[in-house]
Structure 1
Amino acid sequence: MDIRALLSGDVAALTEAIIACESVSGNEKALADAVESALQDLGGLSLHRDGDTIIARTETGAGQRIILAGHLDTVPLPSTPGSRGTVPPSWEQIDGEQVLYGRGATDMKGGVAVQLKLADDVAAHLAAGGSLDRDITWVFYDHEEVEASKSGLGRVMRSVPELLDGDFAVLLEPTHGVVEGGCNGTCRFEVTIPGVAAHSGRAWMGENAIHGAAGLLQVLSDYTPQTITVEGLDYREGLNAVRIRGGVAGNVIPDSTVVEINYRFAPDKTEEQAHAHVREVLAEAGISAGQQKVTDSSSAARPGLDHPAAQAFIAAVGGEPMPKYGWTDVARFSAQGVPAVNFGPGDPLLAHSDDEHVTAQALRDCHTALHRWLLGG
């Protein structure tokens, strides 16, 4: 895959090419290779590769450094026949607008395309003798859409943290082109419901573990999530069963069922407080400590929009800041002491959907806003 020739053209065409390179988590190498190859041809950038994470940096000695970050991977392709949010991508004309359908169109290959386009802009600016008010670090990383332990960004923060030093970071996650501050945290629990196996023709000899999950599922169904205001932004929480597995055959009463639960918590809570809240709810359902375990957890991030760098960014790109309901890597940057916000093209409500799409104009508008912030004009 060669995207170098597209960098100086329309960011919408660049997005199409990036979507066409399938990169479900664990399969990012081809796209990482293409990104690295494209950046190698640009002047004024130092490059570092760590697995399938690519980092490019200007080194002009400017007094401030900002980070533009985005992940290369996507969730799995849709399984529903006829889904348009898949690979290869496709274009449609809807109400006079060009609309690009494909997996990652919003989450977040549109943002990655904007990142690459800006790298080309900056390289051309420097080649023409221009200067920068801020040095820039671009981060294109792998394994964001899976458990936190696999994150390429987390790996680089552990192995070469100095490459990610900065004064301010922008995650180009989809935000409908407005600044989204902070993010909800997320944790996952697995709850094991025990049973007793038996032949289904003599079901009274066993204890059905799947039926035993009914009480837990009812408690979760009845649960009322909170909306919590943090630094003026309203964060909506959620506690849901997201997966259930159990049973070994069509003629066997299942002796075990596992229910996976996901809690999205507002940035007024630490991870420990979030875990304690889930355990309280599980206790209401009669679940013992021995039946539950935490399988994944990531902290929330407070908005931090009062930071001078964030204020300057908001003033440059415009719009009224909103909360980020999903988890993003602004939390990782915040934990490292780097203020961070989300800002990218596309509707976040379309992320991971079977008809994931983004308009060409949204891509162009995002690029224009960030170009104005970085280079003026």
Structure 2
Amino acid sequence: MATEVGTVLIVTVTVPHLDLTVDPVELTAALVDIPSVSRDEATIATAVEQALRTQAPHLEVVRNGDAVLARTRLGRASRVVLAGHLDTVPINDNLPLRRTGTGEATVLHGCGTVDMKSGDAVMLHLAATVREPRHDLTFVFYDCEEIDAALNGLGRIERELPDWLAGDLAVVCEPSNASIEAGCQGTMRIEIRIEGKRAHTARGWMGRNAIHGAGEVLRRLADYEPRIVDIDGCRYHEGLQAVAIEGGVAGNVVPDSCVVRINHRFAPDRSLEQATDHLREIFDGFDITVVDGAAGALPGLHAPAAGELVAAAGGDVAAKLGWTDVARFAALGMPAVNFGPGDPTLAHTQQEHVRVADITRCARVLRDFLA
């Protein structure tokens, strides 16, 4: 709402009210109906902050940019950090939220239902209702996860409020089909540039075709046999894939340059440096350029708190095939797992939806673990 006072325009933003004590399914619906595309999370962050301050007086609450953090200070022997991002990808004609089905078969459809407002809803409900947990708890609701990693709110929190990310176990409530996915793969992007010599295609023998020269790179990729690594009973499947190839000058020119872009997913028993050395060995004879990379996270299931969570989930645990923010927590020296409602393959799609049964299961398992 906008009100003009003299020559000054005063804009009043209505902050939605969130009831943290309602069923996490209804809380999911309320969160989804607050648009929060990356870099536009102020409204949802303020709603979350106000709800925690008024409905969870047992928690210390701070605001950092458009991130909201809350924690207990009960002097427990261990601390569990639960984290979830508040932002979504751009809306794709999939708001407001709609429902299909009935009862436990109900499905919530809309932007953010999977990635990851259903996980946020579970966290918020537990923050307000679990007042005597067996572990001290820290809840981190952060911003800008869906865009450039340099803008990720967790990085800012680590720089400005590092003690808020300390704990004995981190649970990132990203979608995992309501199953525990431990640790995560590392990821790396490289480029291999092949140089040739330009010539007219009518006199091709006078040149050297760089695209043809990429054939050996592609052959090594096709022959590559990825490792399958078992760590703490979790099987990590590695991968090495060409994701783009660029070259060519004109329809009558022998190209003098070709670039093959490659993505490598590696098990968390390898560091970035070890993964780089591995690729240099695979592509011996070629110059490779590392574009970017991020180390993975070991599952750390030997940690007592991690074992308790796995037991609460009925022993169901698998390796996380992909990279998530659990790696940021692992880099801080704590085991980390993914555990949240929804099918991750639906994230970022127009058809994004989450089953009520997933939300209910995650809330129950985490309550059993924490309370």
- What range is the shorter-chain TM-score in? 0.7 to 0.9
Q: Could you say which residue in structure 2 is the equivalent of 1:184?
A: 185
1:21-100 matches, within 5 Å, as 21-42=34-55, 43-75=57-89, 86-93=94-101, 97-100=105-108
Are the aligned partners of 2:104 and 2:357 in contact in 1 as well (CA < 8 Å)?
Answer: no
Q: Secondary structure at the match of 1:108?
A: helix
Q: Could you say which residue in structure 1 is the equivalent of 2:339?
A: 343
Inter-CA distance 96–136: structure 2 relative to 1 (3 Å threshold) = closer
Unaligned runs of 5+ in 1: 79-83, 126-130
Inter-CA distance 58–276: structure 2 relative to 1 (3 Å threshold) = same
Distance 2:248 2:48 in 1: 44
Inter-CA distance 9–187: structure 2 relative to 1 (3 Å threshold) = same
Distance 2:137 2:50 in 1: 19
Distance 2:35 2:254 in 1: 41
Shift of 1:160: 2.0
Are the aligned partners of 2:183 and 2:335 in contact in 1 as well (CA < 8 Å)?
Answer: no
Distance 2:30 2:252 in 1: 49
Are the aligned partners of 1:6 and 1:13 in contact in 2 as well (CA < 8 Å)?
Answer: no
Distance 1:22 1:249 in 2: 46
Distance 2:202 2:88 in 1: 44
Q: Secondary structure at the match of 1:269?
A: coil
Distance 1:295 1:4 in 2: 44
Are the aligned partners of 1:236 and 1:325 in contact in 2 as well (CA < 8 Å)?
Answer: yes
Deviates more, 1:345-354 or 1:210-219: 210-219
Q: Secondary structure at the match of 1:117?
A: helix
Q: Secondary structure at the match of 2:158?
A: helix
Q: Could you say which residue in structure 2 is the equivalent of 1:7?
A: 20
1:356-367 matches, within 5 Å, as 356-367=352-363
Q: Could you say which residue in structure 1 is the equivalent of 2:271?
A: 270
Q: Secondary structure at the match of 1:41?
A: helix
Q: Secondary structure at the match of 1:234?
A: strand
Are the aligned partners of 1:110 and 1:363 in contact in 2 as well (CA < 8 Å)?
Answer: yes
Distance 1:199 1:302 in 2: 53
Distance 1:31 1:253 in 2: 55
Q: Could you say which residue in structure 1 is the equivalent of 2:115?
A: 107
Greater Cα radius of gyration, structure 1 or 2: 2
Q: Could you say which residue in structure 2 is the equivalent of 1:170?
A: 171
Shift of 1:266: 0.7
Unaligned runs of 5+ in 2: 1-13
What CA deviation, in whole Å up to 9, does each residue of 1:223-269 have, x standing for no partner? 33221111221111112233456679999987765543221111221
Shift of 1:335: 2.3
Distance 2:235 2:220 in 1: 25
| Aligned amino acid, residue 40 of structure 1 | R
Shift of 1:359: 0.2
Inter-CA distance 68–218: structure 2 relative to 1 (3 Å threshold) = same
1:230-269 matches, within 5 Å, as 230-243=231-244, 258-269=259-270
Q: Could you say which residue in structure 2 is the equivalent of 1:287?
A: 286
Are the aligned partners of 2:18 and 2:27 in contact in 1 as well (CA < 8 Å)?
Answer: no
What CA deviation, in whole Å up to 9, does each residue of 1:179-218 have, x standing for no partner? 2222111122234455778999999998876676555445
Are the aligned partners of 1:3 and 1:38 in contact in 2 as well (CA < 8 Å)?
Answer: no
Q: Could you say which residue in structure 1 is the equivalent of 2:11?
A: none
Shift of 1:172: 0.9
TM-score by length of 2: 0.81
Are the aligned partners of 1:183 and 1:302 in contact in 2 as well (CA < 8 Å)?
Answer: yes
Are the aligned partners of 1:148 and 1:297 in contact in 2 as well (CA < 8 Å)?
Answer: no
Distance 2:301 2:60 in 1: 30
Are the aligned partners of 2:15 and 2:43 in contact in 1 as well (CA < 8 Å)?
Answer: no
Deviates more, 1:111-120 or 1:238-247: 238-247
Distance 2:260 2:36 in 1: 29
What CA deviation, in whole Å up to 9, does each residue of 1:316-363 have, x standing for no partner? 232322111111222222222222222111223433445332101211
Does 2:319 correspond to 1:311?
A: no
Inter-CA distance 236–87: structure 2 relative to 1 (3 Å threshold) = farther
Distance 1:194 1:51 in 2: 47
Q: Secondary structure at the match of 1:4?
A: coil
Distance 2:36 2:208 in 1: 43
**Matched residues, percent identical?**
48
TM-score by length of 1: 0.80
Inter-CA distance 198–307: structure 2 relative to 1 (3 Å threshold) = same
Distance 1:223 1:333 in 2: 31
Q: Could you say which residue in structure 1 is the equivalent of 2:125?
A: 117
Q: Secondary structure at the match of 2:100?
A: strand
Shift of 1:306: 1.6
